[in-house]
């Protein structure tokens, strides 16, 4: 094998690179730089406009979402395998705006439709390439898929009635999840399907929501997820993949459910995600990629899980209740400005959120845009992370409820920043001084959601209480 001295090096290239002027490097044109320039131009146009400002146009967003319950636009009609996800995006969006429960017959309609997507344990045993039933498909007559199953269970949680809870066949679900389990500790998407940290999170989240998370189901899962953390600090889809915001959320959230956050290289993760908030205010999913509205939830939730983890140890050192919450680890003001001011797309009747300022609104980005706004508005939302495992073990609510009446909130629509948000005050006073919104700050609050499940806190707590009042799957097996 060649020695180091024998390896040829391009000294001319190295010398030229070191002496190159900064503007010459910055002028390198790629598809990403072109898209970034287009986005910056769109943001500049929004900043120059007096329309909308930093106001969440709730009535128009509700019109957009409610219209989707009755009819889907042509742009979405090709998404047959995503029907269950479209249902969740719309229902969850309405619930975050506190307007779902009053919709006529929404519980019976949703429960009946999603029951059609649930695959019966007996019927599906005869299907080719399917060894059994359980779980939900993405659309009518589709075989069960772990990710679609998570969407269906989440949608039924959002409905939050006994009728919706009883739609779920927990025994068949447990069999389905065990069938998806791999020797690596991951979960495949479907019979014969792929596996990654996303499918694994969906399986663990469903199991924890339904009180069927047994030691057998957990075995090896944390080790697989930990192997997905990269040298950058974030997590990839599976080992040796590039760090990605969506997969980072899935890994970190699942490890939080499994009480295994202490096994993460947390400092490396914190460093990686700190650099994911761009000057535009939004979060990017990967290094040197464009920001996207949906990452206001995927990345925003990771920040909150990290902060909750650090605060837990501070409380251990300083004493419970002595750690003051001084705002979140990311720039809340800039994030809300990106989502609300730059990516809210409105016309005379409808409003919603897009991924980028120059794109059209859709249900996906409207849902996760609202989710990101919600997370950024409640400075103490991390307390529910610390309480999750305590709740599932004791069936009690261990922390005070976080509601829109909570004092420690932050909205960009307020004329002055929240006094507790010193980390935002330094750079963003000008934004608030220019804000001409006279509406009450509380009117601009979105309902608080659980960072791990993306479900309104009150519905999440209600669902957990219901399913943890039932026998766990482990107890059922012991009694047989």
356 is catalytic: no
Task: Give, in degrees to the nearest 5, the angle at Cα 56 between 50 and 60.
Answer: 100
Out of 309, 343, 355, 450, the active site residue is 355
Active site residue 202: no
Catalytic (active site) residue 170: no
Q: What is the pLDDT along the chain (480 residues), one digit of tens a residue?
A: 333 333 333 343 344 444 444 544 556 888 888 888 888 888 888 777 766 578 999 999 999 999 999 988 887 778 888 999 999 999 999 999 999 999 999 999 999 999 999 998 654 444 444 456 899 999 988 999 999 999 999 999 999 999 999 999 999 999 999 999 999 999 999 999 999 999 999 999 999 999 999 999 999 999 999 999 999 999 999 999 999 999 999 999 999 999 999 999 999 999 999 999 999 999 999 998 999 999 999 999 999 999 999 988 777 777 666 666 678 999 999 999 999 999 999 999 999 999 999 899 999 999 999 999 999 999 999 988 876 555 455 444 444 557 776 658 888 765 333 433 444 434 443 333 333 333 456 789 999 999 999 999 999 999 999 999 998 775 444 444
Secondary structure class of 65 (helix, strand, coil): helix
Q: Which of 198, 270, 286, 361 is catalytic?
A: 286
Find the catalytic residue in 202, 250, 294, 460: 294
Q: Is there a catalytic annotation at residue 294?
A: yes
Q: Which of 127, 289, 358, 474 is catalytic?
A: 289
Tell me the C-alpha to C-alpha distance, in Å, between residue 197 and each of 6, 150, 205, 307, 470. 42, 14, 12, 22, 29
Q: Annotated catalytic, 362?
A: yes
As a whole number of angstroms, the distance between CA 464 and CA 458 comes to 10
450 is catalytic: no
Pick the catalytic residue from 295, 368, 466, 468.
295
Please choose, from the candidates 395, 204, 220, 368, the residue with its C-alpha nearest in 3D space to the C-alpha of residue 297.
368
Reply yes or no on whether 295 is catalytic: yes
Q: pTM for this structure?
A: 0.85
Instruction: Tell me which residue has tokens 């989707």.
Output: 68
Q: In the annotation, is 16 catalytic?
A: no
What Cα–Cα distance (Å) separates residue 116 from each residue in 107, 110, 125, 128? 14, 10, 17, 19
């Amino acid at each position: 094998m060649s020695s180091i001295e024998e390896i040829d090096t391009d000294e001319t290239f190295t010398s030229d690179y070191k002496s190159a002027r900064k503007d010459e490097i910055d002028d390198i044109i790629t598809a990403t730089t072109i898209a970034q320039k287009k986005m910056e131009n769109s943001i500049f146009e929004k900043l120059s406009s007096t329309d909308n400002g930093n106001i969440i146009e709730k009535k128009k967003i509700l019109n957009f979402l409610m219209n989707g319950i009755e009819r889907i636009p042509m742009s979405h009609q090709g998404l047959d395998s995503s029907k269950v996800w479209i249902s969740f995006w719309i229902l969850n969006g309405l619930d975050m705006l506190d307007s779902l429960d009053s919709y006529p017959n929404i519980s019976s309609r949703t429960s009946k439709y999603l029951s059609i997507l649930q695959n019966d344990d007996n019927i599906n045993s005869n299907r080719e390439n399917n060894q059994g039933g359980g779980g939900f498909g993405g659309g009518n007559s589709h075989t069960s898929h772990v990710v679609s199953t998570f969407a269906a269970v989440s949608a039924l949680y959002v409905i939050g009635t006994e009728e919706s809870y009883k739609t779920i066949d927990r025994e068949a679900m447990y069999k389905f999840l065990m069938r998806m389990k791999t020797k690596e500790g991951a979960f495949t998407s479907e019979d014969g399907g792929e596996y990654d940290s996303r499918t694994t999170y969906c399986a663990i989240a469903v199991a924890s929501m339904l009180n069927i998370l047994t030691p057998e189901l957990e075995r090896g899962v944390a080790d697989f997820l930990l192997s997905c953390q990269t040298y950058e600090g974030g997590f990839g889809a599976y080992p040796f993949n590039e760090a990605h915001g969506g997969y980072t959320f899935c890994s970190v959230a699942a490890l939080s459910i499994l009480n295994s956050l202490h096994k993460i290289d947390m400092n490396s993760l914190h460093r990686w995600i700190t650099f994911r908030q761009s000057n535009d205010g939004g979060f990017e999913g990967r290094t040197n990629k464009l920001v996207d509205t949906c990452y206001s939830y995927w990345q925003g939730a990771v920040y909150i899980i990290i902060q909750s983890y650090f605060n837990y140890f501070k409380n251990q050192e300083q004493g419970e209740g002595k750690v003051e919450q001084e705002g979140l680890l990311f720039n809340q003001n800039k994030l809300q400005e990106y989502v609300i001011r730059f990516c809210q797309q409105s016309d005379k009747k409808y409003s919603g959120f897009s991924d980028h300022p120059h794109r059209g609104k859709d249900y996906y980005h409207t849902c996760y845009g609202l989710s990101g706004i919600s997370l950024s508005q409640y400075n103490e939302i991390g307390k529910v992370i610390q309480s999750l495992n305590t709740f599932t073990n004791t069936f009690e609510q261990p922390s005070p409820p976080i509601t829109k009446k909570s004092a420690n909130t932050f909205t960009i629509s307020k004329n002055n920043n929240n006094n507790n948000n010193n980390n935002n005050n330094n750079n963003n006073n000008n934004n608030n001084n220019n804000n001409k919104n006279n509406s009450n700050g509380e009117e601009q609050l979105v309902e608080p959601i659980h960072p791990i499940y993306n479900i309104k806190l009150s519905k999440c707590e209600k669902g957990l209480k219901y399913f943890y009042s039932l026998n766990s799957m482990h107890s059922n097996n012991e009694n047989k």
